[in-house]
Structures are given as C-alpha cells and as structure tokens.
C-alpha cells in the first residue's frame, strides 16, 4: 500500500486550487474584439496622460464584474463577482460608478426602476475600495487580501483586482531611492530600495491563488522613442514594472496549472497593454481675435469635448498587431466602440 501511495504525484493545495480556478470559464467578459482573448489571471496595464480616461475604462470593467449576470430571465451582461479597488490616486468615484450602474440596469428594466435601484445596491455590495497611502501599505493590503476575502466576503469570488494608479507614489519613492544610494549596498535589501517589488510579488501570488482579472493604471510621463504621428506610446518609468513585449510567448510564463508558487520575487506577466490619449484639440492661433475664438468654441471645439471620445491602442503580449478602440464617455454611460 505504501508503495502505491508513493507513486501518486504530489501536488500542493495552493497549486490544486489554482488549477481548478484556471480551468473554470473566464469571468470578465469584454466586448470583442477588444481583449477578446481575456482569461482568468490576465494582467492589463492601462497607461495614458492625465485626463485620458484611465479611471473611466476601469469603471467599465468594474461594471462588467459586479453587475448581476442573469435574473428574472434577463441577461444583464454582468458577472456578479466581487471587485477590489486600490484607489491610490483618490480618483475612483463610487457615486459616479453608482450613476453609471443604475443607468445601465435601467435600460433592462425601463418599467421597473425600483428593481433597477435594488440590483444596483446589491451590486455595489460586491465592490470593495481601499485607499493605501504608500506602496508598502498597498503591498501589505494585497498580501492580506486572501484573509479579508475569507472573513469578510466568503460568499463572493474575487473577479477583479485593480490598482488606480501604480504611479501615485512614484516621485516620493524615487526621492527615497535616490537618498538610499548613499547607503552602502551591503546594508540594504534590494526590495527596501524598491518597494514596488513587494506590490508585484503580492499581485503575482494573488494571480496564482485567486486568478482574478488584474488592471493596473499607470501614468504616461515620457513618450517612447518609436512614438510618432498619431501612434503614441509611453516609456515605462517604474523600475521592475512588467513591460509589454511582442515577442514574449505567454505559454512559457509560470502557470498556476503546472507550477508551484515560485519564490519571491515572482514575475507578473503583462498580457495586454492599453494606451489611452484624449482627442487632440488644436490651440487657438496666436493672431485670432476674441470673436473668432468664441465662434470656434461654439462651432466645433465644445462639441469635441462634449462628445467624450478617447482613443486607445491595445497591444497583446506575443502578438504584433495593434487594435484601436474608442472609449465613449457620457453622463449616463461608458462603453467601448471599435474602429
């Protein structure tokens, strides 16, 4: 009997749970062709300058996550899962999300607004927002998320984890890192100089243990050297942050199905990269009169702003093609249109 038991391959409980989750159907549905290959454990970076729509794109995916899937024979297009948001920029507006969610559900229940309100409140109970004030607080919160999930929301599976934004503490951490250069390297642990590594390690462990859909927003600070004309990409300014690569084979990345948890630090594979940039509105000519400026504002400039369209470029790891999308933002809705 002992010899028979020894022939059974060993597998850790962590690996077994990850395998079961990885074989489950994808949870976060996205409109094709945008990110049509999304599956559990995918990691998306959303990068762009200020006011480029990063948080509104996040609203879109949060709505898909927490909205109900099907009730009363109505398919609401959601997933009914929990979403965990780390709002480091203090820009995630729950009231705005409530407005968008209520408007979306009301489209399915035009004659039963009370039911739409009730479903909206139930959906928002699946939203959990944390506001860490440093990268180390963010890493600590991520490391303790499994315990929080077990104690506070055991009835809901975590479908989405988002950090908005990964750049919030960039300047303070860069200042600290520069100050630490004067300290002898033998007295420092590498992670003490770069706390971002703690965050990436915690996210990597959550990816393997819970297989959520992970969204990381990031600032667009410096244009990449290959950016020209209408195609704009930004350099990665955060050291050790995962970088998009056209030549990377995602099948070669650590898999929760076949591998045990790797030692710290572990890689966080970036599967998709979305670059957002608002519609460019040309400035007024220097010699323009006040009357002509007012007329231009009425004729087309104001309509361009009110149109609320933001262009985005989607790159997928391991692929050379680039997909273009338009993020449409209105007072009552946020949705994606493909061009």
pLDDT digits (tens, 9 = 90+) for 176-216: 666 666 766 555 555 455 788 889 999 999 999 999 999 99
pLDDT in tens, 51-60: 889 999 999 9
- Residue 29, domain member (yes or no): no
Cβ-contact 44, 215 below 8 angstroms: yes
Q: How far apart are CA 44 and CA 25, in angstroms?
A: 19
- Residue 182, domain member (yes or no): yes
HSE on the CB side for 272, CA within 13 Å?
24
pLDDT at 171: 77
- Residue 19, domain member (yes or no): no
Give me the tens of pLDDT residue by residue for the chain, a chain 339 residues long.
556 545 555 555 444 444 444 444 444 444 434 444 467 789 999 999 888 899 999 999 999 999 999 888 899 989 999 999 999 999 999 999 999 999 999 999 999 999 999 999 999 999 999 999 999 999 999 999 999 999 999 999 999 999 999 999 887 777 766 666 676 655 555 545 578 888 999 999 999 999 999 999 998 877 776 554 556 788 776 766 666 565 555 444 443 333 344 444 456 889 999 999 876 667 778 888 888 887 777 766 666 667 788 889 999 888 888 888 899 998 899 988 866
HSE on the CB side for 31, CA within 13 Å?
15
**SS3 per-residue string spanning 91-116:** CCCHHHHHHHHHHHHHHHCCCCHHHH
- Residue 11, domain member (yes or no): no
Cβ-contact 78, 65 below 8 angstroms: yes
- Residue 188, domain member (yes or no): yes
Report the number of distinct structural domains present in the chain: 1
From the CA atom positions of the chain, what is the Rg in Å?
Answer: 22
- CATH value at residue 188: 3.40.50.300
What is the distance of C-alpha 216 from the center of its chain? 4
- Residue 308, domain member (yes or no): yes
Q: How far apart are CA 126 and CA 93, in angstroms?
A: 15
Range of the domain at 52: 35-255+264-338
What's the predicted TM-score (pTM) here? 0.79
Where do the H-state alpha helices sit in the chain? 2-6, 13-23, 54-66, 94-108, 113-124, 135-143, 145-152, 170-180, 190-193, 196-210, 290-296, 302-307
- Residue 18, domain member (yes or no): no
- Residue 133, domain member (yes or no): yes
Where do the H-state alpha helices sit in 183-260? 190-193, 196-210
pLDDT at 254: 40
Residue 10: Cβ within 10 Å count:
7
């Amino acid at each position: 009997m002992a010899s028979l038991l020894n022939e059974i391959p060993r597998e850790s409980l962590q690996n077994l749970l990850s395998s079961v989750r990885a074989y489950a159907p994808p949870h976060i549905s996205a409109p094709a062709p945008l990110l049509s290959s999304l599956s559990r454990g995918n990691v998306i970076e959303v990068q762009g300058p200020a006011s480029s729509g990063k948080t509104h794109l996040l609203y879109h995916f949060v709505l898909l996550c927490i909205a109900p899937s099907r009730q009363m024979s109505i398919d609401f297009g959601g997933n009914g899962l929990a979403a965990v948001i780390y709002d480091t920029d203090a820009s995630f507006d729950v009231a705005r999300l409530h407005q968008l969610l209520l408007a979306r559900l009301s489209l399915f229940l035009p004659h039963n607004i009370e039911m739409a309100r009730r479903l909206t409140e139930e959906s928002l109970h699946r939203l959990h927002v944390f506001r860490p004030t440093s990268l180390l607080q963010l890493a600590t919160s991520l490391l303790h998320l499994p315990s929080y999930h077990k104690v506070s929301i055991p009835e809901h599976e975590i479908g989405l984890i988002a950090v908005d934004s990964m750049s919030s503490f960039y300047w303070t951490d860069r200042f600290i890192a520069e100050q630490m250069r004067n300290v002898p390297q033998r007295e420092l642990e590498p992670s003490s100089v770069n706390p971002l590594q703690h965050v990436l390690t915690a996210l990597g462990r959550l990816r393997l243990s819970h297989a959520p859909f992970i969204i990381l927003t990031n600032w667009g600070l410096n244009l990449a050297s290959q950016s020209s004309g209408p195609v704009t990409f930004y350099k990665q300014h955060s050291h050790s942050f995962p970088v998009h690569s056209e030549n990377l084979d995602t099948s070669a990345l650590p898999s929760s199905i076949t591998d045990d948890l790797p030692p710290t630090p572990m890689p966080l594979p970036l599967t998709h990269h979305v670059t957002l940039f608002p519609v460019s509105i040309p400035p007024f000519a220097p010699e323009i009169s006040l009357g002509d400026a007012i007329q231009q504002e009425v004729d087309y400039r104001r309509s361009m702003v009110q149109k609320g369209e933001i262009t985005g470029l989607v790159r997928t790891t391991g692929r050379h093609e680039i997909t273009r999308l338009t993020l449409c933002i209105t007072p009552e809705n946020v949705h994606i249109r493909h061009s």
